[in-house]
Structure 1
């Protein structure tokens, strides 16, 4: 079983708003991975392998929009 780390949302919001100059709306629209990257915490994150991308594409294929 893996231990779950709690997110310090107050500190992250403070960093996003004060350090990155994001609006609260922009902050909350980010994923945790996007925020970590913007804060320079991307070290140690492995890029997605091609087979992982293929599996993701198979699970969530693009669909043609009917309004086009």
Structure 2
């Protein structure tokens, strides 16, 4: 089970937001939450977080002339 309350989400999107079905199904869950005013604020990625990601997932593909 996905954990989404599809009937409630469809009610909110199709009736509350007056979206057409194709518009509703084209949205990501994050976009729908934002439109419904439920988006939570996330802390932006700062330099230290980016550096930690770069250390954890290096782009080393063996190409010395990578740009």
TM-score bracket, normalised by the shorter chain, equals 0.5 to 0.7
Task: Name the structure 2 match of 1:42.
Answer: 39
Residues 24 and 41 from structure 1, CA distance in 2 versus in 1: closer, same or farther, beyond 3 angstroms?
A: same
User: What 5-or-longer segments of structure 1 have no aligned partner?
Assistant: 59-68
Give the TM-score, by structure 2 length: 0.61
Residues 47 and 27 from structure 1, CA distance in 2 versus in 1: closer, same or farther, beyond 3 angstroms?
A: farther
Residues 49 and 32 from structure 1, CA distance in 2 versus in 1: closer, same or farther, beyond 3 angstroms?
A: same
Count of residues in Structure 1 that have an aligned counterpart in Structure 2: 51
Q: CA RMSD in A?
A: 2.8
Q: Which of the pair has more CA radius of gyration?
A: 2
Give the TM-score, by structure 1 length: 0.60
Task: Name the structure 2 match of 1:24.
Answer: 21
Distance in 2 (alpha carbons) for counterparts of 1:5 and 1:47: 26
